[in-house]
């Protein structure tokens, strides 16, 4: 005679409801929904990890698409006569010329302020006597040279300085990109959290205001691969520069869709009546019978 009860048989067959697992992946509605109940520290740690991963892809893109162009441009510097003194760049040659270029980046020098030089790359760095010009399809920005700099920039000195600073510069770009994404994602989720809370109340979904922020953070994590794929596609020349700018804006829209997906997977706030089964959680305890019902009382 078997001594197994229906409860133990149901547990063995796996028909009992399983306990919800911890939040660990933001790529499904259920996974995003679990972050609404996670601790704030866990959510911030995951958000930082996804931002750092995307920033590392950006670092790889710069190392692959820009750094070789800068290496070739420095090799084109004259041996002597190039220096940065008192906020002015001195260049021994008189004519403007392109030092190095690629479809992504070009480096040119214009010893005269009024010389015109065409642009062939998506972004072109132009060394002017009084400033560094960044020219692209959307226009240009000029950054003045530091007035207190006294730096010789001959080929040997420029190459030595670039070799010493290329890794720190790349690390600073990765750190800055990580911080920028954390700020943008955090502000985006803070703005949407009250709206999500109102929608949750109207749709009778169980979630707190802090849970709305964590839900939005998880949605941003799930949308971060869109940025990484966009950067990789741009480096591989699968998409043009305007499409990359559109990808940066579109990943927030995708995050909004994933936020709705996670909210739809939140449990409803409708409370169910406790079960009469004493083996299920939340079951009502049987009321003791009165003395009138006990024939021996």
Asked if 35 and 127 count as a contact pair (C-beta separation under 8 A), the reply is no
Judged by phi (left if over 0) then psi (alpha if -120 to 50, else beta), residue 145 lies in: beta
Given this model, what pLDDT does residue 147 score? 87
Q: What is the pLDDT of residues 203-240, one digit of tens each?
A: 999 999 999 999 999 999 999 999 999 999 999 989 88
Asked if 95 and 138 count as a contact pair (C-beta separation under 8 A), the reply is no
Q: What is the pLDDT of residues 114-159, one digit of tens each?
A: 666 777 889 999 999 989 999 888 788 999 998 888 888 889 999 9
Query: Residue 110 contacts by C-beta under 8 Å, 6 or more apart in sequence?
Result: 96, 117, 126, 127, 128
Mean pLDDT across 9-13 = 43
- Asked if residue 284 has pLDDT above 60, the reply is no
Q: At what angle do helices 67-75 and 40-65 cross, to 10 degrees?
A: 40
Phi, psi for 121 (deg, rounded to 5): -95, 165
- Asked if residue 74 has pLDDT above 90, the reply is yes
Q: CA–CA separation, 227 vs 244, rounded Å?
A: 9
Q: CA–CA separation, 144 vs 128, rounded Å?
A: 9
User: Is the Cα dihedral 155, 160, 165, 170 positive or negative?
Assistant: positive
Give DSSP secondary structure letters for 142-153. Answer: EEEPPTT-EEE-
- pTM beyond 0.85: the answer is no
Q: CA–CA separation, 59 vs 62, rounded Å?
A: 5
Structure tokens that stand for 41 in this block: 């520290």
Asked if 31 and 50 count as a contact pair (C-beta separation under 8 A), the reply is no
- Asked if residue 14 has pLDDT above 50, the reply is no
Q: Where are the domains of the chain?
A: 25-63+167-264, 78-153
Please choose, from the candidates 30, 23, 27, the residue with its C-alpha nearest in 3D space to the C-alpha of residue 45: 23
Q: CA–CA separation, 92 vs 72, rounded Å?
A: 19
Asked if 50 and 222 count as a contact pair (C-beta separation under 8 A), the reply is no
Given this model, what pLDDT does residue 3 score? 47
Judged by phi (left if over 0) then psi (alpha if -120 to 50, else beta), residue 14 lies in: left
Structure tokens that stand for 166 in this block: 């290329």
Given this model, what pLDDT does residue 277 score? 53
Weakest-pLDDT range from 104-108, 209-213, 275-279, 290-294? 290-294
Beta bridge partners of 258: none
């Amino acid at each position: 005679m078997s001594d197994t009860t229906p409860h133990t048989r149901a547990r063995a067959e796996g028909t009992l409801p399983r306990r919800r697992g911890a939040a660990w992946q933001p790529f499904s509605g259920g996974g995003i929904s679990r972050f609404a109940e996670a601790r704030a520290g866990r959510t911030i740690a995951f958000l930082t990890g996804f931002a750092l991963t995307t920033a590392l892809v950006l670092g790889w893109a710069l190392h692959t698409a820009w750094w070789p162009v800068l290496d070739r441009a420095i090799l084109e510097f004259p041996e002597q006569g190039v220096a940065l003194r008192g906020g002015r760049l001195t260049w021994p040659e008189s004519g403007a010329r392109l030092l190095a270029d690629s479809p992504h980046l070009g480096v040119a020098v214009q010893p005269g302020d009024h010389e015109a030089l065409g642009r062939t790359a998506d972004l072109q760095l132009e060394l002017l006597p009084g400033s560094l010009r960044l020219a692209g399809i959307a226009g240009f920005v000029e950054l003045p040279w530091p007035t207190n700099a006294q730096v010789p920039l001959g080929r040997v000195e420029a190459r030595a300085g670039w070799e010493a600073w290329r890794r720190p510069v790349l690390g600073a770009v990765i750190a800055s990109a990580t911080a920028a994404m954390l700020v943008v994602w955090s502000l985006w989720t803070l703005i949407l959290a009250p709206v999500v809370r109102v929608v949750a109340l109207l749709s009778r979904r169980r979630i707190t205001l802090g849970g709305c922020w964590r839900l939005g953070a998880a949605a941003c994590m799930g949308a971060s691969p869109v940025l990484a794929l966009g950067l990789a596609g741009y480096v591989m020349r699968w998409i043009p520069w305007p499409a990359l700018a559109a990808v940066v804006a579109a990943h927030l829209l995708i995050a909004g869709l994933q936020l709705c997906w996670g909210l739809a997977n939140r449990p409803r706030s409708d409370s169910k009546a406790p079960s009469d089964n004493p083996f299920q959680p939340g079951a009502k305890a049987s009321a003791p019978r009165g003395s009138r019902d006990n024939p021996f009382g």
